[in-house]
Structure 1
Amino acid sequence: MRSHLNTALLILILFCSACSEPVVEPKKPNIILIYADDLGIGLLSHEGQKIIQTPNIDKLAQDGIRFQRAYSNMLCAPARASLITGLHDSHANGFQITNGTAYMNATKSNLPEIENKINDKLDSIPEDQIFLGEVAQRMGYKTAQVGKLEWGFSATDKQMKRHGWDYYLGYLDHVRAHGFYPPFLFENGEIVEFEGNTLVKAGKSGEPETTENFEERWNMEGKEVYSQTIFMDSILNFIDSNKANPFFLYFPTQLPHGPVSIPAVHPDFVNDERLTQIEKEYASMVKLLDDNVGQILAKLKENNLEDNTIVIFTADNGHEIYYSEAGRILKPYTNMQTGERFDDLERKYYSDLAGDVFDGNGGRAGMKRSNLEGGINVPLIIRWPGKIKKGRVSNQLIANYDILPTLADITGYTQKHNIDGLSFYKELVEDSSFEGHESVVYSSYTGPTLISKDGWKLRTHLNKDAFELYFLPDDFREENDLSKEFPEKFEELKSKLLELCDGDYNNGLYK
């Protein structure tokens, strides 16, 4: 009797096993990181921009989370290096930065020689060093980078592959990326030529605005294919080709970095009497970036990937002026009321004093290259349907070197990595145990700065042997130096800054 029962039980178990649904592992989320170039936080309409409307980027913010206290480096190369390595830029052994003109006259025949010269100047990469693309690649993601590649100023195929990119297309050199009509780009180690583009400097035009520079800019001889069009075609094709696989797409765009170059003025600005001609063209570059974000979102929706794709939008550094013009706004930056040059200390840059019609830094002091808020406080927006509640605004202190460990948490990468960044994954999913940084540190041409979790900021101007202390929640314009009023806080932050700079305030400067 017992043997019959055992046989019946076994049959029942086998029957139930055959009828049960197989366990299906949820598909890992795709990740798209859009990295705007020189996009000041004040250029976005949800941050108060009055002239340029950015509905697609605004929609990302409405559907996800935006960080009000997100920071990045003051300049392109260290910003991209921090993003890709998860390290800050104030260490004694800083990032190696190569010259940006290495590929100016590259051809298919001399390319190996050029790359070897660059690689010979670079130290070997430690085996245990981890990179942004590599994190996703190791977790089974198809990885791609399209646009203004790596941290420059000239990179190589060897670096691209070591950093974890399965596919790449774009400029390997940042000087050529100042033009928007490249005669050639680099795709997976090969030169790809664009026959209609014949200018060595890729159509880079001059500054400030003059009749001669205007005519040069709109002389379209040798300027047939706009680089951003090339990039968008590649990006949309990549999404189509990888819709069945988890992918990580990094899009470091050229826009809206100058000199100003746009195929046509956007209809929004053609008849805008508030703007000069070159300001209309610059506004069109920002508008095109927003349109490109819209194209990417539309492609995700078309492929039913919208709900399983994380979209991250941020920028490398603060605002920069590419539309200077006599009587309007000047470079070097000048107070248009007094005629005095801004010096980043006694005479700080503010948009209203400089004549910036766009107020690109959103009322903050300073610009790109400065450790003032206008140089390092950047937009950071993340949309993740079903995981991030819509319309959230976070005041957590976030550094751009936190994106790598956050991506590691998202993709499931658990190998230990010796970096400065901390994952803010818990903040995305509203886990109350998120602690984050006690402080973050960044370098600049004048010296490093430290921002603390509770809102204090210590900035240096070592060229003038100066230190300033601000409490940002009450003074985001950095107008009231509190170093004498709060001497204990001042000394506390000086000690912390010295520690983070490996014991030398002069570390990490990019001169």
Structure 2
Amino acid sequence: MLSPSLAATLLAMLVPSAPKPETGRPNVVVIMADDLGAAELGCYGNANHDTPHLDQLAREGMRFRTCYATPICSPSRVLIMTGRYGVHTGWYNFTGRPGSPTFRNPNYRLSEHEVTFGTVLRDAGYKTALAGKWQLTGERPTLIHEDGFDEYCIWAYKEYLPEGVTHTGRWEGKGKSRTARFWHPSIMKNGEYVPTKPEDYGPEIFTDFIIDFMTENKDDPFLVYYPMCLTHTPWEPAPSKESPSGKTPKGLKYNVESMDTQVGRIVATLDRLGLREKTLILFTGDNGTNNAGKGQVTEMGARVPLIASCPKTVVSDVVSDELVDLSDVFPTVLAFAGVATPSGLEIDGENLLPTLEGSKSPHRDWIFSYLHRYRLLRDRRWLLDGEGHFYDCGDRRDGKGYRDVTESKDPEVVAARARFASILAGLPAPTSIPPCPYVEKHRERLLNMSSR
């Protein structure tokens, strides 16, 4: 006769065990630098800026030669989170300016009209966090939480601060009209104002928050969205261990390098936590660099870096000629997480995951950008800018050596222009909107440069 303990042991061997809870779901980290054209990084050919962490991320993953944002931040921020062009969201311009929903309706709330990747992944069981620069809509106390993020730590405009709270740190801008984002910054974390000290540096606070969030949630799948404050003006000094003053000089170079340092800290944390191989990192920018494309509906205004890395998923050391724009981030994030696109949601982006995994099939035939009523369209060879100039780019992707064929009657050019017109017919520009002084100022600068 079997003993009770031996019988129990044999029974356990014969009866299948109950399924274990799902484990090992992948993580996603999306980083979007502020005012960063592709040409600012070492891996894109910049010999003046030292960006070792992003250069290494590119070597370990895939770098795209041509990725388009929009030429200014608010439309790009909506685009990357929703996968939808302005023709569907109404976001053609900076918030509050003509061509944005908040121009005619100051009470517009993104969460009432759009679905973000934060909302979709949170509903699928992901822990979600946002840090850095929001610069969109929402009301206290549900600001940012209502757009899909469990936790957040942001640079807080005075309008974002809780009722009755006054910023006690630095101010920036003309007439010191804006709360500071860099030294002695205005910080709000999960609805609460966080007092800072003169030696506190905003980008380090945001990165510290992300590191803490990833550490606390290392056993759960998470989404981190980090729209950085760097490299936007003012180009203030950045922290420096080498300088006796503890700070670098002022300038774009040092802000780019500080940005690279923050990215490096996030990657190092994923390594330390043992999460690097199951985490997709996407790094990009929201528009071209200030005074070098930003605000112009040209390739310099729209072309931003895109670096993707995940050691077990993304093929390494690849420079891709596939065309990408920021609408592709939404479906790519969902596909990597194994989460379906919500039923009935119309998106413009295409899932980039097959390309990241090594597929040789073309990702998409064209990419699109826009600002106010001006539009930019590109395929592998041809480019139509916001002023109606048509270019034969050959196999170039960096703005150099393009041939202006606007007036050409060559059949090949005529056919390409007809194809572009057909595409743009499905992407109509907004009508009946007032002129935008910001857009016209940058447009006038571009036209003056073109006439020289």
TM-score higher than 0.5 here?
yes
Q: Is the 8 A contact 1:178 1:259 kept in 2?
A: no
CA positional deviation for 1:391: 0.6
Question: Which residue of the other structure, out of 343, 348, 353, is the alignment partner of 1:425?
Answer: 353
Correspondences of 1:447-466 after superposition (within 5 Å)? 447-452=374-379, 454-461=380-387, 466=388
Determine which of 60, 68, 71 is the counterpart of 1:71. 68
Q: 1:126 to 1:23 in 2, by over 3 A?
A: closer
Residue 142 of structure 2: SS of its match in structure 1? helix
1:31-57, Cα deviation, whole Å (9 max, x unpaired):
111111112212211221112221111
Are 2:213 and 1:246 equivalent residues in the alignment?
no
Question: Separation in 2 of the partners of 1:277 and 1:141?
Answer: 41
**What aligned pairs does 1:264-275 form with structure 2 within 5 A after superposition?**
264=239, 267=242
Deviation (angstroms), 1:12 = 12
- TM-score normalized by the length of structure 1: 0.69
Matches within 5 A, 1:370-409: 370-409=296-335
Cα distance in 1 for residues equivalent to 2:144 and 2:303: 28
SS of residue paired to 1:460: coil
The question of 1:52 aligning with 2:54 is answered no
Contact 1:447 1:505 in 2 (8 A): no
Asked if 1:287 corresponds to 2:257, the answer is: yes
2:25 alignment partner in structure 1: 28
Residue in structure 1 matching 2:127, options 127, 142, 147: 142
Pair 1:128–1:52, CA change in 2 (3 A): closer
The one of 408, 419, 422 equivalent to 1:492 is 419
| Cα shift at 1:470 | 3.1
Deviations 1:397-450 (A, max 9, x none): 111011011111112221232121121111112245x55333222113672111
Describe the shift of the 1:448–1:95 C-alpha distance in structure 2 as closer, same or farther (beyond 3 A): closer
Cross-structure match for 1:188: 190
Aligned runs of 1:206-285 on 2, under 5 Å? Answer: 223-264=198-239, 267=242, 278=250, 281-285=251-255
Q: Is the 8 A contact 1:90 1:507 kept in 2?
A: no
Counterpart amino acid of 1:164? G
1:263-284: CA deviations, max 9, x gaps? 45574999xxxxx964xx4322
- Alpha-carbon separation, structure 2, partners of 1:399 and 1:122: 29
Change (3 A) 1:277 1:131: closer
Say which SS state the counterpart of residue 68 (structure 1) adopts. strand
- Corresponding residue for 1:363? none
**How far apart are the structure 2 equivalents of 1:269 and 1:393?**
39
Residue equivalent to 1:88: 85
Residues in 2 aligned to 1:244 and 1:169: alpha-carbon distance in whole angstroms: 21
TM-score, normalization by structure 2: 0.78
Q: 1:494 to 1:506 in 2, by over 3 A?
A: farther
**C-alpha distance in 1 between matches for 2:435 and 2:220:** 39
CA separation in 1, counterparts of 2:260 and 2:88?
A: 35
The residue that corresponds to 2:281 in the other structure is 311
Per-residue Cα deviation, 1:197-248 (whole angstroms, up to 9, x for no partner): xxxxxxxxxxxxxxxxxxxxxxxxxx33211121122122112211111111
C-alpha distance in 2, partners of 1:48/1:314? 16
Shift of 1:494: 2.4
> Bigger CA drift: 388-397 or 467-476?
467-476
Shift of the 382–505 alpha-carbon distance from structure 1 to 2, 3 Å rule, reads farther
Is the Cα–Cα contact under 8 Å of residues 67 and 396 in structure 1 kept in the other structure?
yes
Q: Is the 8 A contact 2:127 2:221 kept in 1?
A: yes
Overall identity of the aligned pairs, in % = 27
Instruction: Specify every segment of 5 or more residues in structure 2 that has no aligned partner in the other structure, as ranges.
Output: 1-7, 159-172, 440-452
Task: Provide the aligned C-alpha RMSD in A.
Answer: 3.6
Mapped pair 1:468 → 2:390: yes
Mapping for residues 111-150 of structure 1, pairs under 5 Å: 121-123=106-108, 129-150=114-135
Counterpart secondary structure, 1:396: strand
Distance 1:36 1:178, change over 3 A: farther
Q: Counterparts of 2:414 and 2:152 in 1: how far apart (Å)?
A: 51
Structure number with larger C-alpha Rg? 1
2-structure distance, mates of 1:413, 1:430: 21
- Give SS of 2:132's match: strand
Query: Hey, what's the Cα distance between the residues in 1 that align with 2:313 and 2:203?
Result: 31
- 1:26 positional shift: 4.4
Q: 1:157 to 1:456 in 2, by over 3 A?
A: farther
CA drift at 1:157: 4.5
Shift in alpha-carbon separation, 1:33–1:155, aligned structure 2, 3 A: farther
Residue 91 to residue 159, structure 1, CA distance change in 2 (3 Å): same
Judging changes above 3 Å, is the alpha-carbon distance between structure 1 residues 282 and 474 closer, same or farther for their aligned structure 2 residues? closer
Whole-Å separation in 2 of the counterparts to 1:245 and 1:91: 33
1:91 CA drift (Å)? 5.2
CA offsets per residue over residues 336-374 of structure 1, 9 Å max, x none?
Answer: xxxxxxxxxxxxxxxxxxxxxxxxxxxxxx611122221
- CA offsets 1:457-486 (integer angstroms, 9 cap, x no match): 11232xxxx442333525733642123132
Supply the AA of the counterpart residue of 2:261: D
SS at structure 2 position matched to 1:69:
strand
